Amino acid sequence: MSQVLFFIAAIGVITGAVGVVVLRNPFYAVLALVGHLLSLAVLFLLLRAEFVAAIQVVIYAGAVMVLYVFVVAYVGEESESLGDRLRNPGAVGSQLRLGGAILAGALLVELLIALLGTGLEAINGKGAGYNPGPEAFGTPAYIGKLLLTRFLLAFEVASFLLLIAAVGGVVLARRRHGVEEDDEQDVLTPMNLLRPRSTGTMAEGVGKR
């Protein structure tokens, strides 16, 4: 049973991946990636990583991909077919395409050989034993306990990194000056004097100071 599920999920994963690479419309590529992520979550479940699978769906497919969708909608579609590009090569030309494919193919072959063929006899094909219970392998409690004891530093650093990324994202994407509109001289409150000229707030973005 698990084998059947594995194959279905694996096919979903690979199809999604191929779709991301091939589809010319970026919106469709995003959707393909979402499918890929969901299939990957199933694979995680098969590997008894319940919490990680949940995280994958909620955060990765849920938040990150939504962010992608927003940006794709904002930036617009710059779709170009693979066939177009093959026929009218741009500045880099088709060699890079071909070379890239060859390189990645070589990489794949190597990895497969490494993983499957050579001395990975240590890989116990079946996996370790598994004791069910409240803090069993893969449960949230299990992960939580690890995060707060053994991997506390990684946990804290990761949260710090998130903070930095958030600040960075705001700084990168803000407007320098507000949207130019007619001068609306409202009541001149002290706040107007104290506030700096442009802070990139949503209010400014919309038009009100």
Q: 82 or 203, CB closer to other proteins?
A: 82
Q: Treating both helix axes as pointing N-terminal to C-terminal, what angle do 26-46 and 65-75 enclose, rounded to 10 degrees?
A: 170
Give the pair of three-digit tokens for residue 55. 């995280």
Determine contact, residues 35/19, Cβ cutoff 8 Å: yes
Question: Measured from the CB of residue 194, what is the shortest distance to other proteins in angstroms?
Answer: 27
Question: Measured from the CB of residue 197, what is the shortest distance to other proteins in angstroms?
Answer: 18
Question: Measured from the CB of residue 203, what is the shortest distance to other proteins in angstroms?
Answer: 18
Question: Measured from the CB of residue 182, what is the shortest distance to other proteins in angstroms?
Answer: 22
Q: 129 or 132, CB closer to other proteins?
A: 129
Question: Measured from the CB of residue 100, what is the shortest distance to other proteins in angstroms?
Answer: 3
Q: 37 or 178, CB closer to other proteins?
A: 37
Determine contact, residues 37/63, Cβ cutoff 8 Å: no
Whether the CA torsion 8, 13, 16, 17 is positive or negative: it is negative
Q: 161 or 203, CB closer to other proteins?
A: 161
Q: 111 or 203, CB closer to other proteins?
A: 111
Cβ neighbours, 10 Å, residue 156: 11
Query: What is the radius of gyration, based on Cα positions, of the chain?
Result: 25
Contacts 24+ apart (CB under 8 A), 126-134: 127/47, 127/48, 130/48
Q: 89 or 192, CB closer to other proteins?
A: 89
- Amino acid (1-letter code) at residue 107: L
Question: Measured from the CB of residue 38, what is the shortest distance to other proteins in angstroms?
Answer: 11
Q: Give CA–CA dist 61/141, Å, rounded.
A: 23
